Amino acid sequence: MNAIRNLRFIGIAEGISFLVLLLIAMPLKYFLGVPMAVIVVGWMHGVLFIAYILVVLLAIKAMDWSFFGVVIALVASLIPGGTFVLDRSWKRREQVLRQASVN
């Protein structure tokens, strides 16, 4: 269950950083001439992206994923908002596992 919790946390953080980069930092750079926004947010997003990839790789065994499941998780990080969509299924899985451990 820790693997799912970590995956959800990093996935949400990575998704937020991606949207901030695309919707705030890049317009600041290209429309207002503030390149520092992309430097700072891009660096943070890069760190979170690498962390997400590592957490996905660590979660393969814990979540008993198939190759297709791993590909979906990795592709979701490349689509703006993709990790938010996957978070819903991870949340359901976490709840099922929590219920199973209580019973």
- pLDDT of amino acid 1: 63
Cα angle value 9/48/6 (rounded, 5°): 25
Distance CA 11, CA 53 (A): 9
Q: Average pLDDT, whole number, for the chain?
A: 92
Residue 23: helix, strand or coil by DSSP?
helix
Q: Crossing angle of helices 67-76/82-102, nearest 10°?
A: 130
Show the domain range for 49: 2-102
pLDDT digits (tens, 9 = 90+) for 51-86: 999 999 998 888 888 899 899 999 999 999 999 999
Exposed, middle or buried, 71 (CB in 10 Å: 0-12/13-18/19+)?
exposed
- Count of domains observed in the chain: 1
pLDDT digits (tens, 9 = 90+) for 3-16: 889 999 999 999 99
Q: Is the pTM higher than 0.95?
A: no
